[in-house]
Amino acid sequence: MEINEDILKGLLYASHHLEGQLIFPITNTPIYENTPRYTAVDALALISIEHSASLRFLIAHAKCNTSAFALFRLQYEALVKSLWAFYVASDEQLDLIVGELSEERAERNNKELPPISKMLQQLEAKNTPAHSAVQQLIEFKDISWKALNSYVHSGLHAVKRSMHGYSPELIFPIIRQSNNLMYLAAYTLAIITGNKSVIDGVSLTRRKFKDCLQLD
How many whole angstroms separate alpha carbon 168 and alpha carbon 89? 39
User: Residues 74, 155: contact at Cβ < 8 Å?
Assistant: no
In this model, does residue 215 exceed pLDDT 80? no
Task: Output the pLDDT for position 188.
Answer: 97
Q: Which ranges of 28-98 does DSSP label H, i.e. alpha helix?
A: 36-57, 65-87, 91-98
Q: What is the pLDDT of residues 35-51, one digit of tens each?
A: 999 999 999 999 999 99
How many whole angstroms separate alpha carbon 80 and alpha carbon 45? 9
The predicted model scores a pTM of 0.94
Task: Output the pLDDT for position 142.
Answer: 87
Spell out the SS3 assignment of 129-197: CCHHHHHHHHHHHHHHHHHHHHHHCCCHHHHHHHHHCCCHHHHHHHHHHHHHHHHHHHHHHHHCCCCHH
Tell which wins on pLDDT, 1 or 153. Answer: 153
Measured at the CA of 16, the angle between CA 12 and CA 20, to 5 degrees, comes to 165
